Each structure stands twice: as structure tokens, then as C-alpha cells.
Amino acid sequence: MYASSGEQPHVLLIESDLCLRRLIAIGLQSQGIQVSEMTQISRALPLPEKRQPDLIVVDVDGGVHRNWNLLRTVQELPDLWQTPTIVLSWEQAESTPSALLAAPLAGQETPQPIYMTKPFDARLLHQAVGRILHEQEARKAAQEAQAEEILLAAYTHHSAPSLMPMLTAAGLLLVVIGLLLLQIALSAAGFLIVIVALLYWTLGGQKASPQIASV
């Protein structure tokens, strides 16, 4: 059974054959995986009203011919194109049209699909699904840890004690004392201290915010 340290993983299953779809779905659900079932997918059809899938399992066999448009649509949909995909087919992976192996968006890298030739061993499918989901979970955990580390560093930087408020207060005190005693030089010195402290306090804290790199 798939063991997750976080929320239940979500798999989107696209399979036109009812019997095979139910067998695959029941097998994955027995592993503790949430499964959304669809018979086909297109830009016109809405996705199931559930959270973003962690993995897509798509059967490209449609009757006698392969329906490679299913895989092409998955790779081009904005909500799915970065999602790992397992492709089920009677044909070998070498028969896949070369256009489907290219990234659909310029400058972006699409995860290469994993191909399983039918008939397949359900245990091998479960192992492949479990491996991909564990990799996804590890990647998310690493990204969250990096984000937490950056936020902690930023908090530590901004919350560090500063002498600028004390210097500003001291400068204001000198200005007041100089005005009361009619000491222009003392007031000017206090005013200069206030200006320098405020400038350093304001401009010294303006540093570029750290960016969280994608994992």
C-alpha cells in the first residue's frame, strides 16, 4: 500500500474501457490513492472538480487505432502539462509520434511519459505509480523546506535588533535640548544624527528579497 506522509495522493485515470477503468481504479484505491475517472479528455471538457492530480494514467487505445490526441491534449492543457504521465497502449513506446516527445511550450520541459505495454501486470503498474508519487512527494517536501528556510532567514534578517531607533531618539533629544538652551550647534548636531540614522535605517534595510527556486 502506498504510504504518504501528507494528504492522499490524487491520480487522474483516462480510460475509455469501462471494465479496465474500474479494475485500474479499484486497484489504485486499494493502495490508498484517490482516483478521478474520465473516459476521454479535451480542451472543451472540464476536469474533475478535485485538486490538481499528482499523476495521470491515460490509455491511448481507442478501438482499432491509437488515439494519440489524448496524450497530446494532456501535454498541452495548462493544468496538466507538467504532471507525470503513465501511458497504456498495445504498442511499444517506439511507435509514439516524435512530436509528442517534445515540450508543448517553448523553453519548458515536459516530464517524459512512462509507457506500459498491454497486457500489463497490475503489480508493475502499482509499483510505477508508487515510485512516481514518492518522487513527487519528495520534490514537494524539498521545495517546502527550501521555502521555509528562506522565510526563516528573511525573518531573522528583518527582526535583528537595530541601534537606529536609539540613535534617532538621541538625535531628537539633542535637538530639543539645543533649542531650549539656544545652542544652535547642539541642535544642528542632533538634527544631523537624526537624518543619518533615518537614512541608514530606511535605505539599509532595502535589499532584494530572496527568490524561491523551483525544485
> Are residues 120 and 21 located together in one domain of the fold?
yes
> Are residues 22 and 70 located together in one domain of the fold?
yes
> Are residues 176 and 120 located together in one domain of the fold?
no
Q: Is residue 192 part of a domain?
A: yes
- Whole-Å CA distances, 105 to 53, 76, 82, 89, 187: 20, 8, 10, 25, 64
Name residue, grid cell 501486470. Answer: 121
User: CA 88 to CA 114: how far, in whole Å?
Assistant: 9
Q: Is residue 28 part of a domain?
A: yes
Domain boundary among 143, 165, 182: 143
Question: Is 83 exposed, middle or buried (CB count within 10 Å of its CB: 0-12, 13-18, 19+)?
Answer: buried
Asked if residue 102 lies in contact with residue 76, where contact means CB atoms within 8 angstroms, the answer is no
Q: Can you tell me the mean pLDDT for 100-120?
A: 68
Q: Is residue 20 predicted with pLDDT exceeding 90? A: yes
Greatest alpha-carbon span in the chain? 101
> Are residues 129 and 160 located together in one domain of the fold?
no
User: CA 182 to CA 205: how far, in whole Å?
Assistant: 35
pLDDT of residue 200: 76
> Are residues 29 and 94 located together in one domain of the fold?
yes
pLDDT of residue 215: 43
pLDDT of residue 204: 61
Structural domain span for residue 172: 153-203
Q: Is residue 15 part of a domain?
A: yes
> Are residues 107 and 45 located together in one domain of the fold?
yes
Q: Quick check: pTM over 0.75? A: no
Give the residue, 99 or 17, on which the prediction is more confident.
Answer: 17
> Are residues 171 and 110 located together in one domain of the fold?
no
Domain boundary among 143, 165, 183: 143
pLDDT of residue 29: 95
Q: Is residue 214 part of a domain?
A: no
Domain boundary among 124, 143, 162: 143
> Are residues 36 and 73 located together in one domain of the fold?
yes
> Are residues 60 and 104 located together in one domain of the fold?
yes
pLDDT of residue 141: 85
Name residue, grid cell 498541452. Answer: 76
Lowest mean pLDDT among 25-39, 44-58, 115-129, 179-193: 44-58
Q: Is residue 211 part of a domain?
A: no
Q: Can you tell me the mean pLDDT for 182-205?
A: 78
Q: Can you tell me the mean pLDDT for 163-174?
A: 78
Please count the structural domains in the chain.
2
pLDDT by residue (tens digit) across 30-76? 999 999 999 887 665 566 666 789 999 999 886 666 777 888 888 88
Which CATH number covers residue 45?
Answer: 3.40.50.2300
Q: Give whichever of 18-22, 51-55, 158-162, 194-198 has the largest mean pLDDT.
A: 18-22
pLDDT by residue (tens digit) across 136-153? 888 888 888 888 888 877
> Are residues 130 and 44 located together in one domain of the fold?
yes
Q: Is 119 left (phi over 0), alpha (psi -120 to 50) or beta?
A: beta
State the Cα angle at 179 between 175 and 185, rounded to 5°.
Answer: 70
> Are residues 20 and 120 located together in one domain of the fold?
yes
Q: Is residue 86 part of a domain?
A: yes
> Are residues 91 and 170 located together in one domain of the fold?
no
pLDDT of residue 177: 84
Helix 164-180, helix 184-203: angle, nearest 10: 160
